[in-house]
Structures are given as C-alpha cells and as structure tokens.
Amino acid sequence: AQTVTQSQPEMSVQEAETVTLSCTYDTSESDYYLFWYKQPPSRQMILVIRQEAYKQQNATENRFSVNFQKAAKSFSLKISDSQLGDAAMYFCAYRSAERSWGKLQFGAGTQVVVTP
C-alpha cells in the first residue's frame, strides 16, 4: 500500500514571503497522480494543485507551484507571496492511476501559519 509522509507538522511564514511544504510518498507504481489540498478553519477541503506522474513539467497555479521529483518520490508545494488567507492545514495526497478505484491516500498534514 502507498504511504504519504508530511514531516513538517507546522510551518510559519510572514506575509509576502515564500514557504515550502514537504511531501514524500512510497509507491511501486509508475502511473499516478499527486495532489495538494488546503483545509482552512472552515473545514472545507479545497484542491490547490495536482500533478500527473508521467508529466515532467511541474504544475503551477498562480502563487502555488510544486517541485515534483519522481525518482526521489518527492512532491513539495511552494507558496509564493504568502497571504493571510493562505493560513490553513495543507494535505498531500496520492492517487493511483492503475487501480484502487481512485482512492486518495493522505498525509498527516502541515499547518501553515501566516504572520503579518
């Protein structure tokens, strides 16, 4: 079974600065998808960005970008120009493209604190 590890329980960043969240995963599969979800205090789970394993180009969504290192099984999220609204729990998630009926495997999460 795949495992997803987020080794940083909490990260603090000042407004307008950049923060990088780490995520590593364990899999024997070659085709899969990786996601970052944001969970603000409202509890709503919001998709931030996704990456397809067969694409070498790193995904980017506005101020959010990823560094996908397939060989190292690493998938970090960079938040640039941090804003107060970025404060939330961030979850890394893995989804097999080959089987397992689209089930997502989540990491334990990283709490991002944004200070003025």
Partner 1 sequence: NAGVTQTPKFRILKIGQSMTLQCTQDMNHNYMYWYRQDPGMGLKLIYYSVGAGITDKGEVPNGYNVSRSTTEDFPLRLELAAPSQTSVYFCASSYSTGEGYGYTFGSGTRLTVV
Site for partner 1, rule CB under 8 A: 4, 6, 9, 33, 35, 37, 42-45, 47, 50, 52, 91, 95, 97, 101-104, 106-109
Residue 109: CB minimum distance to partner 1, A: 6
Task: Burial-class residue 94 by CB neighbours within 10 Å (0-12, 13-18, 19+).
Answer: buried
Please identify, using beta-carbon distances, which residue of 36 and 79 lies nearer to partner 1: 36
Residue 53: left (phi > 0), alpha (psi -120 to 50), or beta?
alpha
For residues 4 and 23, give the distance between their C-alpha atoms in angstroms, rounded to a whole number.
Answer: 7
Residue 16: CB minimum distance to partner 1, A: 28
Amino acid code (one letter) for 35: F
Please identify, using beta-carbon distances, which residue of 43 and 85 lies nearer to partner 1: 43
Please identify, using beta-carbon distances, which residue of 37 and 75 lies nearer to partner 1: 37
